[in-house]
Chains A and B, each alone.
Chain A
Amino acid sequence: MESNEPVITSNKDRHFRGQAHEEEVLAFCRKHWTSLFHEFFLFIFILVLIVLFSLYFQAISEVFTPVLLHLLILVVGTILTYYIHRFFLVLLKHYLTVIIITDVRILAITRSLYFVNEKESVDLATMRDVHKYQSGFLENMFNFGHLKITLGTSPTCIELTSIPNPEFHLRLINKAKQQHLATTQEKPLEED
Protein backbone atom coordinates (compact mmCIF):
# COMPACT_ATOMS: atom_id res chain seq x y z
CA MET A 1 0.00 0.00 0.00
CA GLU A 2 1.50 3.33 -1.08
CA SER A 3 1.14 6.43 1.00
CA ASN A 4 0.78 9.85 -0.63
CA GLU A 5 2.04 11.65 2.44
CA PRO A 6 5.33 13.44 1.87
CA VAL A 7 8.33 11.84 3.54
CA ILE A 8 9.66 14.18 6.22
CA THR A 9 13.44 14.01 6.30
CA SER A 10 15.51 15.60 8.98
CA ASN A 11 18.99 16.86 8.29
CA LYS A 12 19.96 16.74 11.94
CA ASP A 13 23.52 15.39 12.26
CA ARG A 14 23.25 14.01 8.73
CA HIS A 15 26.57 15.19 7.34
CA PHE A 16 28.41 16.42 10.44
CA ARG A 17 27.79 16.49 14.15
CA GLY A 18 25.83 19.62 15.08
CA GLN A 19 23.99 20.05 11.78
CA ALA A 20 20.60 21.68 12.40
CA HIS A 21 17.24 20.24 11.25
CA GLU A 22 16.76 22.52 8.23
CA GLU A 23 20.40 23.23 7.49
CA GLU A 24 21.59 22.21 4.02
CA VAL A 25 25.25 21.62 3.17
CA LEU A 26 26.14 23.61 0.04
CA ALA A 27 29.79 22.65 -0.22
CA PHE A 28 32.73 21.48 1.81
CA CYS A 29 36.47 21.44 1.27
CA ARG A 30 39.75 20.60 2.87
CA LYS A 31 43.01 22.47 2.66
CA HIS A 32 44.76 22.26 -0.69
CA TRP A 33 47.06 19.26 -1.10
CA THR A 34 50.08 21.51 -1.60
CA SER A 35 49.97 22.21 2.15
CA LEU A 36 51.27 18.64 2.56
CA PHE A 37 54.09 19.05 0.00
CA HIS A 38 56.91 19.44 2.53
CA GLU A 39 55.61 16.49 4.58
CA PHE A 40 55.72 14.20 1.53
CA PHE A 41 59.19 15.41 0.52
CA LEU A 42 60.48 14.72 4.01
CA PHE A 43 58.83 11.29 4.05
CA ILE A 44 60.43 10.33 0.73
CA PHE A 45 63.79 11.61 2.01
CA ILE A 46 63.45 9.46 5.16
CA LEU A 47 62.53 6.41 3.04
CA VAL A 48 65.62 6.93 0.90
CA LEU A 49 67.73 7.17 4.08
CA ILE A 50 66.27 3.87 5.37
CA VAL A 51 67.05 2.14 2.06
CA LEU A 52 70.62 3.51 2.03
CA PHE A 53 71.10 2.55 5.69
CA SER A 54 70.01 -1.03 5.02
CA LEU A 55 72.06 -1.29 1.81
CA TYR A 56 75.29 -0.05 3.40
CA PHE A 57 74.70 -1.52 6.84
CA GLN A 58 77.69 -3.83 6.53
CA ALA A 59 80.01 -0.94 5.62
CA ILE A 60 78.59 1.28 8.40
CA SER A 61 79.07 -1.46 11.00
CA GLU A 62 82.76 -1.69 10.06
CA VAL A 63 83.30 2.05 10.50
CA PHE A 64 81.72 2.36 13.97
CA THR A 65 82.70 0.53 17.12
CA PRO A 66 80.01 -1.94 18.38
CA VAL A 67 78.95 0.38 21.20
CA LEU A 68 78.59 3.35 18.85
CA LEU A 69 76.76 1.20 16.29
CA HIS A 70 74.23 0.08 18.89
CA LEU A 71 73.78 3.66 20.03
CA LEU A 72 73.26 4.73 16.41
CA ILE A 73 70.60 2.02 15.90
CA LEU A 74 68.82 3.12 19.10
CA VAL A 75 68.73 6.77 18.09
CA VAL A 76 67.80 6.14 14.42
CA GLY A 77 65.15 3.56 15.40
CA THR A 78 63.52 5.92 17.89
CA ILE A 79 63.54 8.86 15.47
CA LEU A 80 62.15 6.74 12.61
CA THR A 81 59.33 5.31 14.75
CA TYR A 82 58.39 8.77 15.99
CA TYR A 83 58.59 10.29 12.52
CA ILE A 84 56.42 7.64 10.78
CA HIS A 85 53.71 7.98 13.45
CA ARG A 86 53.87 11.76 13.14
CA PHE A 87 53.63 11.70 9.32
CA PHE A 88 50.47 9.60 9.30
CA LEU A 89 48.91 11.62 12.13
CA VAL A 90 49.54 14.80 10.09
CA LEU A 91 47.84 13.14 7.08
CA LEU A 92 44.83 12.20 9.20
CA LYS A 93 44.69 15.74 10.59
CA HIS A 94 44.58 17.03 7.02
CA TYR A 95 41.66 14.70 6.31
CA LEU A 96 39.73 15.62 9.47
CA THR A 97 40.16 19.40 9.02
CA VAL A 98 37.19 20.56 6.96
CA ILE A 99 35.47 23.77 5.96
CA ILE A 100 31.73 23.36 5.50
CA ILE A 101 29.54 25.97 3.84
CA THR A 102 25.84 25.58 4.62
CA ASP A 103 22.89 27.80 3.77
CA VAL A 104 23.07 29.31 7.29
CA ARG A 105 26.72 29.43 8.31
CA ILE A 106 30.33 28.63 7.55
CA LEU A 107 31.95 26.04 9.75
CA ALA A 108 35.69 25.58 10.10
CA ILE A 109 36.49 22.32 11.84
CA THR A 110 40.11 21.74 12.83
CA ARG A 111 40.66 18.31 14.24
CA SER A 112 43.49 15.94 14.81
CA LEU A 113 43.45 12.50 16.36
CA TYR A 114 44.90 13.51 19.73
CA PHE A 115 45.69 17.17 20.17
CA VAL A 116 43.27 19.53 18.39
CA ASN A 117 39.48 19.64 18.37
CA GLU A 118 38.33 23.07 17.26
CA LYS A 119 35.10 24.24 15.69
CA GLU A 120 34.52 27.78 14.46
CA SER A 121 31.13 28.84 13.17
CA VAL A 122 30.28 32.08 11.36
CA ASP A 123 26.65 32.97 10.78
CA LEU A 124 26.11 34.24 7.25
CA ALA A 125 23.95 37.12 8.54
CA THR A 126 26.76 38.50 10.73
CA MET A 127 29.29 38.43 7.91
CA ARG A 128 30.31 41.80 6.42
CA ASP A 129 32.84 41.13 3.65
CA VAL A 130 34.77 38.26 2.23
CA HIS A 131 38.21 39.02 0.88
CA LYS A 132 39.93 36.54 -1.41
CA TYR A 133 43.61 36.64 -2.12
CA GLN A 134 45.99 34.43 -4.05
CA SER A 135 49.56 35.65 -3.97
CA GLY A 136 52.61 33.89 -5.28
CA PHE A 137 53.40 31.58 -8.15
CA LEU A 138 52.27 28.32 -6.52
CA GLU A 139 48.90 29.69 -5.40
CA ASN A 140 48.06 30.90 -8.89
CA MET A 141 49.53 27.85 -10.59
CA PHE A 142 47.60 25.30 -8.49
CA ASN A 143 44.56 27.54 -7.93
CA PHE A 144 44.34 27.86 -4.19
CA GLY A 145 44.24 30.84 -1.87
CA HIS A 146 42.95 32.40 1.30
CA LEU A 147 39.57 33.78 2.29
CA LYS A 148 39.35 36.49 4.93
CA ILE A 149 35.91 36.90 6.44
CA THR A 150 35.20 40.14 8.25
CA LEU A 151 32.39 40.10 10.77
CA GLY A 152 29.99 43.02 10.96
CA THR A 153 29.77 43.25 14.72
CA SER A 154 33.43 43.21 15.67
CA PRO A 155 36.79 44.15 14.14
CA THR A 156 37.87 40.51 14.29
CA CYS A 157 38.15 38.50 11.11
CA ILE A 158 38.41 34.85 10.34
CA GLU A 159 40.94 33.59 7.85
CA LEU A 160 40.50 30.36 5.96
CA THR A 161 43.88 29.36 4.55
CA SER A 162 44.85 27.16 1.57
CA ILE A 163 41.33 26.92 0.17
CA PRO A 164 41.19 25.11 -3.19
CA ASN A 165 39.37 27.02 -5.94
CA PRO A 166 38.85 30.17 -3.83
CA GLU A 167 36.90 32.00 -6.56
CA PHE A 168 34.17 29.33 -6.51
CA HIS A 169 33.96 29.38 -2.71
CA LEU A 170 33.87 33.19 -2.63
CA ARG A 171 30.96 33.27 -5.09
CA LEU A 172 29.18 30.48 -3.20
CA ILE A 173 29.50 32.29 0.15
CA ASN A 174 28.22 35.56 -1.36
CA LYS A 175 25.28 33.80 -3.00
CA ALA A 176 24.41 31.90 0.18
CA LYS A 177 24.60 35.12 2.18
CA GLN A 178 22.21 36.91 -0.18
CA GLN A 179 19.75 34.01 -0.10
CA HIS A 180 20.00 33.75 3.68
CA LEU A 181 19.33 37.47 4.11
CA ALA A 182 16.40 37.29 1.68
CA THR A 183 14.79 34.37 3.54
CA THR A 184 15.27 35.96 6.97
CA GLN A 185 13.64 39.19 5.68
CA GLU A 186 10.76 37.29 4.08
CA LYS A 187 9.90 35.19 7.12
CA PRO A 188 8.28 37.94 9.26
CA LEU A 189 6.13 39.00 6.24
CA GLU A 190 4.90 35.43 5.76
CA GLU A 191 3.89 35.27 9.40
CA ASP A 192 1.81 38.48 9.05
Chain B
Amino acid sequence: MTITLTPTFIYISALNAVSIMFLVFSLIKLRGVLKFLTLEENNYTLLFGFIGVRMYIYLYVLSILLLSIFLWIITA
Protein backbone atom coordinates (compact mmCIF):
# COMPACT_ATOMS: atom_id res chain seq x y z
CA MET B 1 0.00 0.00 0.00
CA THR B 2 1.42 3.34 -1.02
CA ILE B 3 0.54 6.48 0.90
CA THR B 4 0.26 9.69 -1.05
CA LEU B 5 0.49 12.86 0.96
CA THR B 6 -2.53 14.68 -0.42
CA PRO B 7 -4.04 17.67 1.44
CA THR B 8 -7.06 15.48 2.31
CA PHE B 9 -4.83 12.83 3.86
CA ILE B 10 -2.96 15.45 5.90
CA TYR B 11 -6.24 17.03 7.05
CA ILE B 12 -7.74 13.64 8.02
CA SER B 13 -4.54 12.68 9.86
CA ALA B 14 -4.66 15.95 11.81
CA LEU B 15 -8.36 15.44 12.52
CA ASN B 16 -7.67 11.91 13.80
CA ALA B 17 -4.83 13.14 15.99
CA VAL B 18 -7.04 15.84 17.53
CA SER B 19 -9.88 13.33 17.96
CA ILE B 20 -7.67 10.77 19.73
CA MET B 21 -6.17 13.49 21.96
CA PHE B 22 -9.70 14.65 22.87
CA LEU B 23 -10.64 11.04 23.66
CA VAL B 24 -7.63 10.61 25.96
CA PHE B 25 -8.37 13.94 27.66
CA SER B 26 -12.04 12.92 28.13
CA LEU B 27 -11.00 9.61 29.71
CA ILE B 28 -8.62 11.36 32.11
CA LYS B 29 -11.35 13.88 33.03
CA LEU B 30 -13.91 11.10 33.43
CA ARG B 31 -11.65 9.34 35.90
CA GLY B 32 -11.74 12.39 38.13
CA VAL B 33 -15.47 13.02 37.67
CA LEU B 34 -16.48 9.43 38.49
CA LYS B 35 -14.97 9.80 41.95
CA PHE B 36 -17.77 12.11 43.04
CA LEU B 37 -20.32 9.28 42.85
CA THR B 38 -19.95 6.04 44.76
CA LEU B 39 -23.66 5.29 44.90
CA GLU B 40 -23.37 1.99 43.11
CA GLU B 41 -20.25 0.75 44.87
CA ASN B 42 -18.35 -0.09 41.68
CA ASN B 43 -21.43 -1.38 39.88
CA TYR B 44 -21.63 1.41 37.36
CA THR B 45 -24.90 0.53 35.65
CA LEU B 46 -26.18 2.93 33.08
CA LEU B 47 -29.08 2.09 30.88
CA PHE B 48 -30.72 -1.29 31.19
CA GLY B 49 -28.91 -2.57 34.24
CA PHE B 50 -26.73 -5.04 32.37
CA ILE B 51 -24.77 -2.59 30.25
CA GLY B 52 -22.48 -0.64 32.50
CA VAL B 53 -20.84 2.71 31.98
CA ARG B 54 -17.53 0.89 31.53
CA MET B 55 -18.96 -0.85 28.46
CA TYR B 56 -19.85 2.53 26.97
CA ILE B 57 -16.34 3.81 27.67
CA TYR B 58 -14.86 0.81 25.84
CA LEU B 59 -17.31 1.39 22.97
CA TYR B 60 -16.32 5.06 22.87
CA VAL B 61 -12.63 4.17 22.56
CA LEU B 62 -13.36 1.47 19.97
CA SER B 63 -15.62 3.71 17.85
CA ILE B 64 -13.11 6.55 17.71
CA LEU B 65 -10.23 4.23 16.85
CA LEU B 66 -12.25 2.43 14.16
CA LEU B 67 -13.43 5.72 12.66
CA SER B 68 -9.86 7.04 12.59
CA ILE B 69 -8.61 3.91 10.85
CA PHE B 70 -11.55 3.96 8.42
CA LEU B 71 -10.96 7.61 7.45
CA TRP B 72 -7.25 7.06 7.21
CA ILE B 73 -7.64 4.05 4.89
CA ILE B 74 -10.12 5.91 2.67
CA THR B 75 -7.79 8.88 2.18
CA ALA B 76 -4.48 7.00 2.01
Contact = CB atoms under 8 A, between A and B. Distances in A.
Interface residues of B, number: 33
Contact of B29 (A14, A57, A77, A114): A114
B43 interface: no
Interface string A23-66: 00100101001001000000000000010001001000000000
A113 B56 contact: no
Contacts of A92: 30, 53, 56
Contact of A73 (B23, B46, B71): B71
Contact of A77 (B15, B23, B36, B48): B15
A25 to B, nearest CB: 7
Contact of A36 (B19, B36, B39, B47): B47
Interface string A94-108: 111010100000000
Nearest to A84: B63
Contacts of B30: 92, 113
Nearest to A80: B67
Given A50-B70, A84-B67, A91-B46, A98 B12 contact: no
The A interface, classified by DSSP as helix, strand, loop or mixed, is helix
Contacts of B60: 84, 88, 91
A111 interface: yes
A81 B67 contact: yes
Chain A interface bracket (under 10, 10 to 19, 20 to 34, 35 or more): 20 to 34
Given A85-B23, A95-B46, A95-B53, 16 more contacts: A14-B38, A15-B39, A33-B48, A70-B6, A73-B75, A74-B12, A77-B71, A80-B67, A80-B71, A81-B15, A88-B56, A91-B46, A91-B60, A92-B53, A94-B46, A95-B44
Please provide the 4 A-B residue pairs with the shortest distance between their CB atoms, ordered closest to farther.
Answer: A88-B60, A70-B8, A17-B36, A77-B71
Interface of A: 14-17, 25, 28, 30, 33, 36, 50, 54, 57, 70, 73-74, 77-78, 80-81, 84-85, 88-89, 91-92, 94-96, 98, 100, 111, 113-114
